[in-house]
Amino acid sequence: MTRFVPLAAAVLLAGTLPLQAQQATTPDTQQPANGAAEDPSPTEDAAVSPPPEEQATEEATADGAIAAAQPPREVGSDWPYWGGDAQATRYSPLDQITPENVGQLEQVFTFHTGDLPKGTAEGKYSPEVTPLKVGDDLLMCSAMNILISVDAATGEENWRFDPGVPNQAIPYGATCRGVSVYSNPDAAEDDACATRVIQGTLDAKLVAVDVETGAPCEDFGENGAVDMWQDIGERVPGWYAVTAPPAIVRGVVVTGAQVKDGQAEDAPSGVIRGYDAVTGELAWAWDLAAPDENRNGPPEGEVYTRGTPNMWTTAVADEELGLVYLPMGNSSVDYYGSNRSDAENEYATSLVALDATTGEEAWHFQTVRHDVWDYDLGSQASLIDYQGTPAVLLPSKQGDIYILNRETGEPLTPVGELTDLPKGEVEPDFISDTQPVSEWHTLRKDPLEEKDMWGFTPIDQLWCRIQFRRANYDGFFTPPSTDKPWIQYPGYNGGSDWGSVAVDTDRGIIIANYNDVPNYNRLVPRDEVTSKPINEMETGESGGANAEGAADPQAGSPYGISVNAGWRNDLTGVPCTRPPYGGIRAIDLETGETLWDRPLGTARRNGPFGIPSFLPFDIGTPNNGGSVVTAGGLVFIAAATDNLFRAINIETGETVWSTVLPAGGQANPITYEVDGRQYVMVSAMGHHFMETPVGDEVIAWALPEN
């Protein structure tokens, strides 16, 4: 019933994007002084812009408004950015470890952060942390935002700084995916905080400490912290939290925040803010519903526009173009859209490119129209060269992979369009009957059929078949329903989630791990909803341990939401659909063709009623966390729920080494070098939603020393 239209329409659509962008960036009278002289047209601006350092320094020295851009950092012996290099390719030029010798890897050290759940945090830990390696040190945060520096060769602790995040600040999971570093080119080398570690915390603070000592940077905000609750509104712990490392570009720290899903339409704003990396002062704000009015913050006594789509994941930035690329999510009420504003509809589930020094929009590219499926863009985009054009590679939870022109947002690979999609009965006027899809590559599988139902016996399989037939399901983009449940496939976990993809830029191979699981959902009429939004709960009452959306109130809309994430059989806990539930794939960057594709994750830890089966077969489990690719020809990845960390031959897709982790490896690994020795590292800290055991370890492996 849905068909692909050859993409004249999409190309036309794409052609309008820069136009919209220009309209949206009409010069504002309240523009910060430093941006005043610039042409508002993003393309021209980019074309004529001087080299980055020069320009940034110029700006900084001209009016002193913004800190200077830091010199770029190289990936290799260091892992200086959350995504590896500044382009977030997760590709390392290190080649000491190869498919031939990887079998000799031995554990060098294991470091315990000491941060394990206590009291009300029990069952809510999902640290997801990826350390940075800068100089001799590993720089990381723990689940509750304790900043730690560790010797990268020995695993000995250099220092730690605990910002004292309370348990009640945990939104849905205690997560800190990582930190960012900034070196101030205007500071003398031995100045305090000449190089600083910056993180966003669960209680929505931006914290900066000295990389050498861990002492808070006195020049940054108040005693080294900036309160991001400023101008957000009623302060409700857990409603507004930062879990992703900020992007630092042209001396500006750019961050969004996670607004806890499914609570209320009247929720904290999804505003994106840029802060001066030295002083912590607000450089700009991008409030998508009032971009000009609130660029320097809302007027006295007001707050940023409430309930707008947020960015809970990580941005990537192009220091040279001066653009930062924001993967936006949805408004807090994910599954009902009729009350959303035009601005929300325009930017939700879009990649938005902002000028990093002014906060003005350059362009945006939307991946779902009128999203009522919680298909937030969860992956960090990667900056690549695509057939000679500077491009940004964007994976999505629907599994589509887009490649866009970095300057204009125009698609460089074909974008298709689904038409005549069902509009459902709940809000047919809101649901879009067309949606974009990537015709270049998608990780998405064919729609489900009754025969895809699964179980361990004919009885549970039969029960799932009955559920399948009782639900509304018209394939991809089946609209929400309330009379019956509806099947959402792929579910909100992806496709590609925050682990993002890795790109071997030498071999021209994209490595994408993905989930392949549906959700079984139902809109719950208001009078049947028993849960309360987080702002109406007593302190400490917040449940939080539930899977996201399991029973969310969506206050303000006519419906609450019930999500059976992964569509598990209510009796046995066994998934209702056949394996695999997750895979990993190599894609040719030139052609978009699949080079190899295989299930990711063995059945060893999974079985009915939660009993481990110890089966060594690659069943393909749900996974969370990304991979690292190396010049040595290896893909390193944990992510799956089997608690294995493995190396895969990038040419063949074969697992050439694996080891059992002491806890779930739901984090992105890294690789680095100290004194000529290559290390690989991943944290084993578990994940409540992935149901893997909790831990506090960061583990390093290397080849034996001769």
Partner 1 sequence: MSDITASPANPPGHETSWGVKILGWVCVLFGAVILAGGVWLIFLGGSWYYGLAGLGLAATGVLLNRYMMEAIWLYLVVWIGTVVWAWWEVGADWWAEVPRLVAPTVILILVLLCIPALRRHPSKL
According to CB under 8 A, which one of 112, 470, 484, 526 is a site residue for partner 1? Answer: 470
Quick check: 461 and 584 in contact, CB under 8 A? no
Q: Are strands 147-151 and 157-161 parallel, antiparallel or unpaired?
A: antiparallel
Q: Is the peptide bond before 579 cis (omega within 30 degrees of 0)?
A: no
Q: Which two tokens stand for residue 459?
A: 């009885």
In angstroms, what is the minimal distance from the CB of 151 to partner 1?
Answer: 45
Q: Cβ contacts of residue 266 below 8 Å, gap of 6+?
A: 306, 307, 555, 556
- By the rule CB under 8 A, 489 interacts with partner 1: no
Residue found under tokens 């994209």: 510
Region of 653 please: left (phi>0), alpha (psi -120 to 50) or beta: left
CA dist 319 → 56, 83, 406, 578, 595 (Å):
10, 15, 12, 45, 32
Q: Is 619 in the site for partner 1 (CB under 8 A)?
A: yes
Closest CB to partner 1 among 306 and 604? 604
Number of residues binding to partner 1, judged by CB under 8 A: 22
d(CA 293, CA 290): 5
* Residue 483, number of CB atoms within 10 A of its CB: 11
For the bound state, the minimum distance from the C-beta of residue 481 to partner 1, rounded and expressed in Å, comes to 16
Stretch that binds partner 1, among 393-401, 415-423, 520-528, 577-585 (CB under 8 A): 577-585
468 in contact with partner 1 (CB under 8 A): yes
Ramachandran category for residue 529: left, alpha or beta (phi over 0 → left; psi -120 to 50 → alpha): beta
Nearer to partner 1 among residue 33 and residue 466 (C-beta): 466
Which of these segments, 43-51, 296-304, 311-319, 574-582, binds partner 1 (CB under 8 A)? 574-582
* Residue 495 one-letter amino acid: G
CB of 571 to partner 1, least distance (A): 12
- State in angstroms the smallest separation of the CB of 469 from partner 1: 4
- Binding segment toward partner 1, per CB under 8 A, in 1-9, 88-96, 445-453, 504-512: 445-453
Strands 627-630 and 91-92: parallel
Applying CB under 8 A, which part among 236-244, 449-457, 487-495, 684-692 lies near partner 1?
A: 449-457
Tell me if 568 contacts partner 1 by CB under 8 A: no
Contacts of residue 501, Cβ cutoff 8 Å, sequence gap at least 6: 90, 379, 382, 393, 395, 401, 510, 511, 512, 513, 626, 627
Q: Measuring CA to CA, how many Å separate 510 from each of 514, 522, 585, 586, 592?
A: 13, 36, 8, 6, 9
The partner residues of 637 in beta bridges, in order of sequence, read: 627, 646
DSSP-assigned states of every residue in 140-185: EE-TT--EEEEETTT--EEEEE-----GGG-SSSB-----EEEE-T
Catalytic residue list contains 504: no
Verify binding: residue 461, partner 1, rule CB under 8 A. Answer: yes
Task: Write the CB contacts of 23 (distance below 8 Å, at least 6 apart in sequence).
Answer: none
Choosing from 5, 33, 62, 466, the residue that interacts with partner 1 (CB under 8 A) is 466
Should residue 611 be labelled a site residue for partner 1 when binding is judged by CB under 8 A?
A: no
Q: Identify the residue among 90, 124, 444, 465 touching partner 1 (CB under 8 A).
A: 465
Decide: 626 and 610 in contact? Cβ < 8 Å.
no
* CA 346 vs CA 33, 285, 327, 477, 507: distances in Å: 28, 18, 13, 18, 37
- State the minimum distance, in angstroms, from the CB of residue 480 to partner 1: 21
For residue 450, state whether it binds partner 1 (rule: CB under 8 A). yes
Q: Confirm or reject binding of residue 458 to partner 1 (CB under 8 A).
A: yes
Q: Which of 457, 536, 591, 704 binds partner 1 (CB under 8 A)?
A: 457
Using the minimum distance from each CB to partner 1, give the nearer residue, 386 or 456.
456
Residues within window 661-700 making contact with partner 1, judged by CB under 8 A: none
Q: What is the largest CA-CA distance in the chain?
A: 74
Among residues 374, 376, 497, 552, which one is catalytic?
Answer: 374
When asked if residue 520 is in the footprint of partner 1 (CB under 8 A), the reply is: no
Q: How far is the CB of 459 from partner 1 (least distance, A)?
A: 6
Single out the residue of 19, 156, 234, 451 in contact with partner 1 (rule: CB under 8 A). Answer: 451
In this chain, which of 35, 216, 499, 580 binds partner 1, going by CB under 8 A? 580
Cis peptide bond N-terminal to 495, omega within 30: yes
Minimum distance from CB of 457 to partner 1 (Å)? Answer: 4
Query: CB 496 → partner 1: shortest distance, Å?
Result: 23
Q: Is 454 in the site for partner 1 (CB under 8 A)?
A: yes
- Pick the piece of the chain touching partner 1 (CB under 8 A) from 290-298, 329-337, 468-476, 640-648: 468-476
Stretch of residues binding partner 1 (CB under 8 A), selected from 487-495, 554-562, 578-586, 654-662: 578-586
In this chain, which of 459, 571, 611, 660 binds partner 1, going by CB under 8 A?
459
Taking the C-alpha atoms of residue 49 and residue 34, their distance in angstroms, rounded to an integer, is: 14
Closest approach, Cβ 191 to partner 1, in A, equals 60
Contact region with partner 1 (CB under 8 A), list: 267-275, 288-296, 420-428, 573-581: 573-581
Structure token pair of residue 494: 């992806």
- Show which residues are catalytic: 374
| Residues at the site binding partner 1, with contacts judged by CB under 8 A | 450-452, 454-463, 465-466, 468-470, 578-580, 619
